[in-house]
Chain A
Amino acid sequence: MMADRLNQVVGQAIAVTLENMAFMEIAPVQADTEVPTSDNGMMARMLVLEPFQGEVQLAATTALLRNVIEVVHAFPDEAVVEAMLSDMLGELLNTIGGRLLTEYLPESQSYRLGLPEVGWDLPDCSEGQSRAWNLQIEDQGLVLTLAGDGFFAG
């Protein structure tokens, strides 16, 4: 029951964010979807500070980030630099993470998030259970991971 709700909330948070920011639709991952790795993508982490300790992580291929930047900033692909990719991934994580907690926690429950940090080699601060959602946006992979028992309690 709780897992169903988490599934729904995660899907909704990603869908609303991508749709509002870049008019893109998400789909379940396919066998030929390019999955983000340290070679072809970027990863960002953001701590959940209150009401529990946890972490939200988002990984995306640089091809996907370039596509989103092209829509949001109206920038030609060749003008996109790494700082823009990092900023885009951080803002996607920030928006998805906030949306997710707003929907998942009880309405009266306040929460506090850290600032997004981008990099594959960041130390893993999370403890307890974790779960990843693999999604596809325009043939490119996006992986959202939630870590921390608070996400799975109840």
Chain B
Amino acid sequence: MKRIVIADDSATARMVIRRCLEIIGLGEADMVEAPNGREALNRLKEEPTDLLVTDLNMPVMDGETLLKWVKGSPRLTDLPVVIVTSAGNPAKEVELTTIGAFAVLNKPISPATLLKTLEPLMQ
């Protein structure tokens, strides 16, 4: 993967995700951070991106709205979107995967969970 966009309103959460991505061998990728969905969308439009990792609860534009925009955009629709959230549950997971999320992970994430999730995309 060459470019990964990480969206979360918490700098701490973005750092935790970045660290996990580095640990699982994606440290070479250009990791672009965004504090909300709107900013993430702008970053996604700048350059081709291989993965979007986003939180759900964010100000300005939340993760679910961001996911809908991505899946509704002909240019971005194939982009794998991993939701990392503290507000996940089976019902929400079904809803998000129906919209097009590649995976929904509960915080706190671990490198092992992330690796298992991203393995199909890394091959």
Q: Which residues of A contact B (CB under 8 A)?
A: 16-17, 20-21, 69, 72-73, 84, 87-88, 90-91, 94-95, 97-99, 102, 105, 107-113, 115
Contact = CB atoms under 8 A, between A and B. Distances in A.
Kindly list the 8 A-B residue pairs having the minimum CB-CB distance in the complex, ordered from nearest.
A98-B86, A20-B108, A91-B12, A91-B10, A95-B107, A110-B91, A94-B86, A88-B12
A72 B57 contact: no
B117 interface: no
Nearest to B10: A91
Interface stretch (B13-21, B26-34, B40-48, B75-83): B13-21
Max chain A Cβ within 10 angstroms of own Cβ: one of B19, B86, B87, B110: B86
Nearest to B55: A94
Contacts of B15: 72-73
21 contacts: A20-B108, A20-B109, A21-B16, A72-B12, A72-B16, A73-B15, A84-B12, A87-B10, A90-B10, A94-B57, A95-B13, A98-B85, A98-B88, A98-B107, A102-B88, A102-B89, A102-B106, A105-B89, A107-B89, A108-B91, A112-B87
B87 A113 contact: yes
B22 to A, nearest CB: 11
Contacts of B91: 108-110
Contacts of A115: 9, 57, 59
A94 B89 contact: no
A111 B89 contact: yes
> What is the interface residue range for chain B against chain A?
20 to 34
Interface of B: 9-13, 15-16, 19, 57, 59, 85-92, 106-110
Max chain B Cβ within 10 angstroms of own Cβ: one of A16, A21, A88, A107: A21
A115 B56 CA distance: 11
Contact of A97 (B9, B86, B90): B86
B107 A94 contact: yes
Nearest to A100: B86
A56 B96 CA distance: 25
B94 to A, nearest CB: 10
Contacts of B12: 21, 69, 72-73, 84, 87-88, 90-91
B32 to A, nearest CB: 18
Contacts of A107: 89-90
